[in-house]
Amino acid sequence: MTLKEICIVGTPHIRLDQGSNTFKQSYEKYIEESSIIIEKIAQYSPDLITIEWDTRESLRLKKEFKQIINQQLPHLLNEHHFIAMPLAHQLGLSEVLPIDFNQMQTRKIRASFADEYLENADEKLYQYMNNAKNKHQLSKNQPTTLYEKLTEHKEGPIPLEQVFAIRSLADSPGIAFALEWSERNHIMATNIIKAALNHERTIVFTGMSHVRFLEFIIESTGLFKVIPSQDILK
């Protein structure tokens, strides 16, 4: 039996406000850079596109997808407005599917408790975590294109994975944080799997820290062939 395919593309998060002074320059830059990614993935001919977007905001997603199709810009733009939505439109797909369940405020509170615990109870682990945070910030500030960020080879965990893993070591606060993070990834994976069963080739756009978790969960079912994003984007 030929397995259906899923490819998970880890993308950097973009936050672009039309009210900012640098909007036009940044917008044109992202449009130019994302066009390369869109053309590469379009050659793979996916018949389903799913994104890290809260399922409780599905109506807003539909509205903003329609805006992108009609060349009207939402006030706030993210990576999905530059890559996933234009790609879906180019492929003639009628929707982009949300898969996330993001309890952001709760996660921030639990992360803060975990950080505070480590600072007071384990100075060495706390320093390791801060080093990983600094590496993450430096990686965000590197003058690399979107295409380069999506295709760069990564040895070992990325800094944000390290931050989350070290937080999970903070006894009870860390366990609470880790359980929520794990639950979120499992919800995303479940939403992907349920939708992808009805499609031949699925593309998932999500933050880079989710990629390895989602690949593992999806591969573990034995229901799909997980295609490395490098194979499509190269």
* pLDDT confidence of residue 2: 85
pLDDT tens digits for range 58-84 = 999 999 999 999 999 999 999 999 999
Q: What's the predicted TM-score (pTM) here?
A: 0.94
Q: Quick check: 167 and 111 in contact, CB under 8 A? A: yes
pLDDT tens digits for range 89-144 = 999 999 999 999 999 999 999 999 999 999 999 999 999 999 999 999 998 888 88
* pLDDT confidence of residue 178: 97
Does residue 1 carry a pLDDT above 90?
no
pLDDT tens digits for range 173-213 = 999 999 999 999 999 999 999 999 999 999 999 999 999 99
CA 209 vs. chain centroid, Å, equals 7
Q: What distance in Å separates the CA atoms of residue 30 and residue 47, rounded to the nearest whole number?
A: 24
Does residue 155 carry a pLDDT above 80?
no
Helix orientation angle between 104-121 and 159-167, rounded to the nearest 10 degrees: 70
Q: What distance in Å separates the CA atoms of residue 167 and residue 164, rounded to the nearest whole number?
A: 5
68 CB contacts (<8 Å, ≥6 apart)? Answer: 81, 85, 86, 89
Q: What distance in Å separates the CA atoms of residue 228 and residue 234, rounded to the nearest whole number?
A: 10
Q: What distance in Å separates the CA atoms of residue 41 and residue 87, rounded to the nearest whole number?
A: 8
Q: What distance in Å separates the CA atoms of residue 208 and residue 101, rounded to the nearest whole number?
A: 16
Per this entry, what is the length of the chain? Answer: 234
Does residue 3 carry a pLDDT above 80?
yes
Which residues in 89-115 are b (16+ Cβ under 10 Å) and which e?
bebebeebbbbbebeeeebeebbebbb
* pLDDT confidence of residue 68: 97
* pLDDT confidence of residue 159: 93
Q: For 225, list phi and psi in degrees, rounded to 5.
A: -100, 120
Residue 173's CB is within 10 A of a number of other CB atoms, namely: 21
* Burial class for 177, CB neighbours closer than 10 Å (0-12, 13-18, 19+): buried
The two structure tokens encoding residue 50: 């799913």
Q: What distance in Å separates the CA atoms of residue 69 and residue 181, rounded to the nearest whole number?
A: 33
Q: What distance in Å separates the CA atoms of residue 81 and residue 23, rounded to the nearest whole number?
A: 14
Between CA 6 and CA 207, with CA 195 as vertex, the angle to 5 degrees is: 55
Closest CA to 84 of 36, 47, 49, 42: 49
pLDDT tens digits for range 167-179 = 999 999 999 999 9
